[in-house]
Amino acid sequence: MYIIDRRLNPGGKSFANRQRFLRRAKALVQRAVRDNFKSRSIKDLDQGGEIGITRQGVHEPTLRRAASGGQRDHVLPGNKDYLEGDTIPRPSGGGGGSGSQPGQGGDGEDEFRFVLTKEEYLDLFLDDLELPDLAKRRLMDTEAKEIQRAGYSTTGSPASLAVARTMRLSLARRLALRRPSASEILELEREIARLEQQGGHESQITALKEEYERLVRRNRRISYIDPIDLRYRRYESNPKPVAQAVMFCLMDVSGSMSEHMKDLAKRFFALLHLFLTRCYSHVDIVFIRHTDRAEEVDEQTFFYSTETGGTIVSTALEEMLTIMRQRYNPADWNIYVAQASDGDNMGSDSVKAATLLHDEILPACQYFAYLEVGREEDPMPTGTAPRPSDLWRTYETIATADGHFVMRKVWHRREIYPVFRELFRRRGSNVRGGAA
């Protein structure tokens, strides 16, 4: 009899099968994930969760009898008052009889539900999206240095002496040169002393003494640790690719922005943040709110406190530039800016804002997304677009063709995700599609 503790065996034996399952049902799962997203609050946007897909999509057919028709027998326990020959009305729900026969279920449930982990959820959710120009910037910025171990060297400072390696080499050398060990010498010494005491043979003692001398000499000549044994740990400094990003969230919080609009903006910011955290090991967020003056605030204040005042967009842009100069050198940081507004701006400010954006911000940042949020009750006009807002018209003049700067307008929660996907759709596939 053996008792084996398997608890420490690597888990995840089913991992490969699970991946195959997800791959097989990918289209279904992806649709479920996107549906699921609509009903989620921002806080748990990046959690895993339970989703359901149609059972038919992952059904495994077998040759089996139909659940209805024909003549069937049921044998049941717990008869209360039936007598032979009694008749009972057919229970509703399926013509298959009392539904008591095991194995009849399975047809009824139309959903197969299971839990996705956080990683699986996000992978499916953000599948086929990518950040524009990410690779290029990563390669360009290799300023930062990182110290790395790089083997051993024969020279170095005493502080970086590799003791274990040195001792190993010393031992090898002593063995190779047959350096007599201390215990060997001691034993010989004792032997001589014993012989002298017992009055051993003269010639034998002399021979032993000569041998003793030889060993001591050899011991002295071959040192215990020799300079050629010494090894030092070697370090090299490697250029480290920049994999950090900062995300500026700019939002108009003047009185004209309703809770609904803020909610739209927040959803967009949350999505962008989620996406950035998957691409960069480190993402900073800076919240800048503005009315007719701008300030950096924490998240809570950003989304939930109201301010009154006019609307001057350039103040927010200026504030952003100031913070960028102070803390986020564009050479080291990938800079993303997302601006949300209802489109109001003081007329005279537009030119200034456009200039700031075009001359200073756009050259420094990776991507600038402007999201114009509308009131929910506004109908989505198909043919007759409403008059574009002040800010929209200003920004339109600087919108570039390379997708560096984008602007979109949304009215309703359900549009956020499509807009987001549209902005970050993988460009490569686009090009291929166009060429074909």
Contact between 93 and another protein by CB under 8 A: the answer reads: no
E-only strand ranges, 228-308:
232-239, 244-252, 282-290, 294-297
Q: Could you say which of 47, 68, 305, 429 contacts another protein (CB under 8 A)?
A: 68
**Judged by CB, which is closer to another protein: 120, or 307?**
120
Chain centroid offset of residue 393 CA? 37
Phi-psi region for residue 301, left (φ > 0), alpha (ψ -120 to 50) or beta? Answer: alpha
8 token code pair: 């420490």
Question: What is the C-alpha separation between 378 and 399, in angstroms, rounded?
Answer: 25
Contact between 110 and another protein by CB under 8 A: the answer reads: no
We find the least distance from the C-beta atom of residue 37 to another protein, in angstroms, to be 19
At 202, is the secondary structure helix, strand, or coil? helix
- Tell me the per-residue interface mask from 24 to 53 with another protein, x by CB under 8 A, - otherwise: x-------------------------x---
Span from 18-26, 170-178, 353-361, 396-404 in contact with another protein (CB under 8 A): 18-26
Contact between 115 and another protein by CB under 8 A: the answer reads: yes
Span from 35-43, 56-64, 231-239, 348-356 in contact with another protein (CB under 8 A): 56-64
Rg, the chain, Cα only: 39
- Residue the block writes with tokens 């069937």: 72
- Tell me the per-residue interface mask from 73 to 92 with another protein, x by CB under 8 A, - otherwise: xxxxxxxx-xxxxxxxxx--
Q: Could you say which of 45, 58, 195, 205 contacts another protein (CB under 8 A)?
A: 58
Contact between 60 and another protein by CB under 8 A: the answer reads: yes
We find the least distance from the C-beta atom of residue 103 to another protein, in angstroms, to be 8
Span from 14-22, 163-171, 223-231, 298-306 in contact with another protein (CB under 8 A): 14-22
> Binding residues for another protein, how many (CB under 8 A)?
63
Hey, CA dihedral for 358, 360, 363, 366, is it positive or negative?
negative
We find the least distance from the C-beta atom of residue 45 to another protein, in angstroms, to be 21
151 token code pair: 């083997």
Contact between 308 and another protein by CB under 8 A: the answer reads: no
Question: What is the C-alpha separation between 220 and 369, in angstroms, rounded?
Answer: 78
HSE on the CB side for 381, CA within 13 Å? 9
CA dihedral 186→189→195→199, nearest 10 degrees, is: -150
The one-letter amino acid code at 159 reads A
**Judged by CB, which is closer to another protein: 69, or 199?**
69
| Residues near another protein, by CB under 8 A | 1-7, 9, 11-14, 16-24, 50, 58, 60-80, 82-90, 95, 97-98, 100-102, 112-115
